[in-house]
Structure 1
Amino acid sequence: MTSVVIAAHNEEHVIGACLDALLGQRGPEAIEIVVSANGCTDRTAAVATRSGVTVIDRAEPGKTAALNAADLVATGFPRIYLDADIVVPPGGIAAITARFDASPRPLAVVPRRRLNTAGRPWPVRAYFSINQRMSPFRHGLFGRGMIAVSEAGRARFDVFPGVIADDLFFDSQFSDAEKAEASEVEVVVEAPFTTSDLLRRLVRVRRGNRQLRASAESGLVVAQVRPVDRWAWLRDAVVPEPRLVFAAVPYLIITVTAAVLARRPARAGREWGRDESTRGRRPEPEGGGT
């Protein structure tokens, strides 16, 4: 049996489509679905409550704690950790799990991602035109919203540590040779609908990455975190495709701004967190770009 674990915080607008896609999957093995709702103030748990889905409704917020709670309930392998806003295409679960039988046998498998930037303002589209060509985002486990691990892969660590960068932590547990991409499975990852939401997401990512690296250096977390590659944007994107030099300008401005903001303590009541623009009603794009 394959287990799918979903940690969900205020995902009532997107989790229904996610679960519909999972419940409609066809394959040789049954799928166990565990939704770990955490700190929700909306109808996430109610929307997720349906036949074939186990729902854990935790009052305390926190993604890694929610993942750990779900792991105590889930029984199957491979185990798939899925974001609540990801819609797995038909046959996607079977294709992902089949990849574990390939030679050499991977310990972690991810799908191919397609970034949806339609209707976003030019700075957002420019940022991702660079980002999606960078090696860490082409070969890492993060940024896809879906990570599958074998039983041996999951045994690499006991519980998820209390860090923000859970995807980077996952990535740090495996060498490149132990990872694989099921390229026939494509998931759509929604880009933020506004530049400010993109910036908010990047600040959270940078804070989380810094927290994980500090925890690894101090021995609080066992992880071989990939080093920061400050020139990947130039080497992997602009040099191979010089036309992207104009996109590099907003990319660098957004990246540097996020780095500066990430070093500042979050203001009470104004914490830089996840991108909410992709979690509910779609806002009007800035600048009207397509």
Structure 2
Amino acid sequence: MSVIVPASNEAALIGRCLEAMQASDPKPGAGSGSLPLPLPVEVIVVANGCDDNTAAIARRHATRFQAMGWDFKVLELGAVGKTGALNAGDTDAKFGTRVYVDADVVVSQPLLDQVGRALQVQRPVFVSGQVMIAPPKSSISKLYASIYRRVPFMSQGVPGCGFFAVNEPGRRRWRDWPKIISDDTFARLCFAPKERVSVEAGYYWPIVEGFANLVRVRARQNAGVREVARKYPRLMQNDDKPRLGAGGLLRLALGNPPGFAVYAGVALATRLRRDDGWARGR
């Protein structure tokens, strides 16, 4: 399988992302792991419009990947945007099975092996792991996360935030990545709910710090979903996002009043805010 890591000015985080992959246990590939047959693996870091040393830091990991029996390379591009970086990684990839990992994600040790096994089917599948929100530093973000991790979309579905994989039949569902805000939403909705698989292992995915940043990013996330619905309306038949409902909201509010107050405040402020451009998820 080809693991594609788009990275834009991620010097502070790319090392931790790659080290977590290298710590995979059991390791898929090179005849190890729990797969019945060796699974060749390559990792492609796509440095997109970087003006820091993201690419140089990534290259320091080449020797260890090679010792694991995994191919590894770094592509350096101009500022082509995230989906442009994904397209470049796909063009360079040797294998039809693809794993897409944001540079700020930290995988758990068994995740890549479990994902590799789940992808070994003939039917198209979308595979991800359990989203674990990385512990925030600010009190506001901690309270927001205490509710966000419990909403049905995060706790019951296969959201694929920052990490998802598709096998070769699944990747044929679309050609090039379109120029859109939310690549994970687009990819997820290319698959019916029954075609999405969640493995037991998880990964850490960060959120931004502070109320204003939470509002900014949530507004952008909402805009990304609306964009997919507008440009690809047929995909929305695959949207199975569960609703909280009045009862669910009440349970969250009574179970954690401070967290719910922050979460509801961010949601309200998002509705009142005009979108002003792209925003990172952290």
RMSD: 2.6
Would you say the 8 A contact 1:130–1:237 is kept in 2?
A: no
SS in 2 for 1:167: helix
Q: Does 2:155 match 1:144?
A: no
Offset of 1:124 from its aligned partner? Answer: 2.3
Offset of 1:40 from its aligned partner? Answer: 1.2
Q: Which runs of no fewer than 5 residues in structure 1 stay unpaired?
A: 277-290
In structure 2, the CA distance between the partners of 1:132 and 1:235, relative to structure 1 (3 Å rule), is farther
Deviations 1:46-88 (A, max 9, x none): 2122424211111123111110111001122431000111122
Would you say the 8 A contact 1:126–1:251 is kept in 2?
A: yes
Q: Give distance in 2, aligned partners of 1:227 and 1:150.
A: 20
Q: Percent identity?
A: 27
Q: Which runs of no fewer than 5 residues in structure 2 stay unpaired?
A: 32-38, 63-70
Name the aligned partner's letter for residue 112 of structure 1. Q
Would you say the 8 A contact 1:10–1:40 is kept in 2?
A: yes
Offset of 1:20 from its aligned partner? Answer: 2.1
Would you say the 8 A contact 1:3–1:76 is kept in 2?
A: yes
Task: Give 1:253's match in structure 2, choosing from 221, 240, 265.
Answer: 265
Deviations 1:180-229 (A, max 9, x none): 1111x121122322222222221221222222222124xxxx62366697
Q: How many residues align?
A: 262
TM-score after normalising by structure 2 = 0.82
Bigger mean CA offset, 91-100 vs 111-120:
111-120
TM-score after normalising by structure 1 = 0.80
In structure 2, the CA distance between the partners of 1:37 and 1:229, relative to structure 1 (3 Å rule), is same
In structure 2, the CA distance between the partners of 1:230 and 1:199, relative to structure 1 (3 Å rule), is farther
Would you say the 8 A contact 2:105–2:203 is kept in 1?
A: yes
Specify the alignment match of 1:172 in structure 2: 189
Name the aligned partner's letter for residue 38 of structure 1. N
Specify the alignment match of 2:83 in structure 1: 64
Would you say the 8 A contact 2:7–2:54 is kept in 1?
A: yes
Would you say the 8 A contact 1:21–1:87 is kept in 2?
A: yes
Bigger mean CA offset, 6-15 vs 126-135:
126-135
Deviations 1:149-168 (A, max 9, x none): 11111111111111001111
Would you say the 8 A contact 2:123–2:170 is kept in 1?
A: no
SS in 1 for 2:235: coil
